[in-house]
Amino acid sequence: MPRRLAVQSAIWLGVIAASATMGLLLCWAMGGSAGLLEVGIGGSLALATLAAACLATSRIAWSMAVRQLEVKNQQRLMMQESIDQAPDVVLWVEQDASICYANDAACAQLGYTREELLALRIPDVNPASTRETFAALLEEMTQGEGATFEATMRRSDGSGMPVEVSASLVKGARGPIICAHHRDISDRRRHESLREDQRAILQSIITGSQLGDVLTTIACAVERQHPSGRCSVLLMDAETKLARLGAGPNLPAEWNSLIDGFEIGPEMGSCGAAMYFGKRDIVVDVKTDPRCKQWRDCALQHGLRSCWSQPILSSTGQVLGTFAIYHGTPGEPDAHEVQLIEAAAHLASLAIEREQAVRDLRKSMEKYRRMVETTLEGVWQLDPEGRTTYVNKQMAEMLGVSQETLLSSSVFDFVEGEWLERACRNAARRRAGRREQYDCLFRRDDGGELWAVVAATPITDDHGEFVGTLAMLTDITERKRAERGQKVLMSELDHRVKNNLAIVAAITDRTADQSRDLAEFLAAFRGRIQAMAGTHALVEETHWIGASFEDVVRTMLRPFADAGTLRLRVDVDDLMLEPKAAATLGLVLHELATNAAKHGAWSVFAGRVEVTARVMAHGVKRGVELDWRESGGPAVTAPEECGFGSALIQDSVEHDLGGDVDMQYEAEGLVCTVRFTMGSGVHGPNRREIASMLELKEAASNGVAR
């Protein structure tokens, strides 16, 4: 204040002197020295008035200048105070990168005193800043308005502090000065890192990473956010109620081994209690908490003094395990740390529930896959165009192809003709959403037939759009064959009954005409009927498949002579006769044998009969030649008239077999040759197939498909 008064007095004296001088100069200008005398007292008064006015004006101007100076000083003091007390680090840096100013926050956050900071250069607190980068920054700011960028400050203890720098250029006494504000962005970086970790963890869960890997990733992410802690994840076995180690990447192996497999309970440490009660449990000090006595020595040996455990709960509230953070010092979690372990437990629950869902889905899929693969029905899944998207093994076997071949084929590749048209119509009904069941004929890869009952169901997506067809196919090929066989058998039976009745009627009439009395009629009639019955019995044994030619010969001749004796020799190729041919040849052989017994070779003791049958070539066809030859009997002469027996033989062979009969009455005995072509009631040498044919006929008679 004394200094300010002295300055003001000096200024006022200068103003007075200047006023007096101006008055004298004015008088001089008006008249020189004479003018000065002429002015007199009046002039002095005017000069005094003028001086007073100048003095008042100067005083006002001085007051305003002083006021402005005081305001500027107050603003400068307030700005200095705001910078000193700003929460951000503020550093002023000269052109040589030396620090010329540091606020209180800079000292507190970087861990230096102000004197220590003012003795440092920018590269000392920002290692990334070199002489070249600082010079480039200074050049850029000289040409522009300012700069904003991120950097990492180095504290006095060597730790890093991420900051966002806002720098501007101001004029200083020795040149431009960079005024840089450094805002601590540690929390932002930590949140960004946490969000990135969460995205990575969720991505690993979605892509199906192994549960152990996901839990380890969660533990490591929490440890990055909380460097002083070490994390573990324990999983609860729902059946045994035992805690199993899920992850503990940075905990000692001895500790992990110790806590793996313990039984959960209220007195089993922080993790055991958290799983038992289903809520967060805090062990402030392992050394003093009685629940930790079981693990205390090992925990203290490895520097584990506190444990904070958060239960891992499923979406339905079921306890799945626990997430825990261990620390080397006693303590409780703050609000941020509680949020951290809660978030970690939630992520762990997502991973565990997905693993359980995938495991359950695999079991279910494997169960149904085994059912589908082992079922006797074919399963065929098609896309909207009829292309195969899935097929089971049974379906491939039914069509005679591999599953791989079917997966590159369409359903339309296995149907033809009218069935192809039906398949197209059926596909259209599937698109319309219709379910139905129908019989269908497929063509196997080897050209054979596959009859199947098809149960077809349309498949739709979540929006109700048609995306394909699921078909279940039951093989009914054998049933269809049996039905056809049964129909043939019924037709054949009807035909044979009518024929047999006609034959019986004819036999009755002709036998009556040839018989002298009733006894002779009955004997002849009975013999012919028995012959018919004998061949009927042979074909009935094979369910009307047919009968062996040799069996027919031996059966018909057994009442007259045993084959293999001197009286009968049989040499017949292995031929299988259809039922009609067997009955016809049975009657022929019966008539020949009866005639031999009455009038021919078998009418005497020394007589014998030889029966042979051979497959012979008849032009482009194959035929059968049956030869009946008698010897050792009475002399034979040709009859004057054809008897009933001869007529029956001739008519039966010509009508039923389409063949011919040649009878020669030689001196040694009768020779009868019967010829007919293959296909006229003869299967040929195929007797070995009778077993499978019998099985088919039995199925037909029972009406059951295999």
pLDDT per position as a tens digit, 146-186 = 888 889 999 999 888 899 998 888 877 777 888 888 898 88
* C-alpha distance from residue 223 to each of 190, 215, 306, 406, 653 (Å): 12, 12, 15, 54, 104
**Which residue, among 512, 587, 599, has the nearest Cα to 556 in the 3D structure?**
587
Q: What is the 3-state secondary structure (H, E, C) of 627-678?
A: EEEEECCCCCCCCCCCCHHHHHHHHHHHHHHCCEEEEEECCCCEEEEEEEEC
Give the DSSP per-residue string, 513-540.
Answer: HH-SSHHHHHHHHHHHHHHHHHHHHHHH
One-letter identity of residue 496: R
- Tokens of residue 625, six digits: 């030649």
- Give the β-pairing of 89-93 and 99-102: antiparallel
The pLDDT score that the predictor gives to residue 490 is 78
**Of 291-295, 352-356, 483-487, minimum mean pLDDT range:** 483-487
Mean of the per-residue pLDDT values of the chain: 81
Res. 259: pLDDT tops 80: yes
Give strand pairing partners of 370: none
CB atoms within 10 A of CB 458: 18
- Bigger pLDDT: 192 vs 235: 235
Longest CA span, the chain? 215
Residues 654-684 have pLDDT tens digits of 888 889 999 998 888 999 999 988 665 555 4
Query: Among 6-10, 52-56, 432-436, 663-667, whose mean pLDDT is lowest?
Result: 6-10
User: Which of these, 91, 132, 131, 92, lies nearest to 110 by C-alpha position?
Assistant: 91
Q: What percent of the chain has pLDDT over 90?
A: 31
What are the strands, taking DSSP E only, across 495-607? 547-548, 568-572, 576-577
Give the pLDDT score at 275: 94
Nearest-CA neighbor of 323 among 423, 220, 429? 220
Is the pLDDT reported for residue 533 higher than 80?
no
Average pLDDT over residues 575-596: 83
Write down the number of H helices and E strands in the chain.
20, 24
Q: What pLDDT was estimated at residue 71?
A: 67
pLDDT of residue 397: 92
Given a cut of 60, whether residue 692 has pLDDT beyond it is no
**Poorest-confidence range of 80-89, 101-110, 317-326, 355-364?**
80-89
Residue 46: which H helix or E strand, with range? Answer: helix 2-84
Query: Nearest Cα to 180, choosing from 131, 138, 119, 139?
Result: 138
Beta bridge partners of 664: 671
According to the model, what pLDDT value does residue 1 have?
45
pLDDT at position 629 is: 93
Say if residues 155 and 120 touch (Cβ distance below 8 Å). no
Q: Which residues contact 300 (CB under 8 A, 6 or more apart)?
A: 286, 287
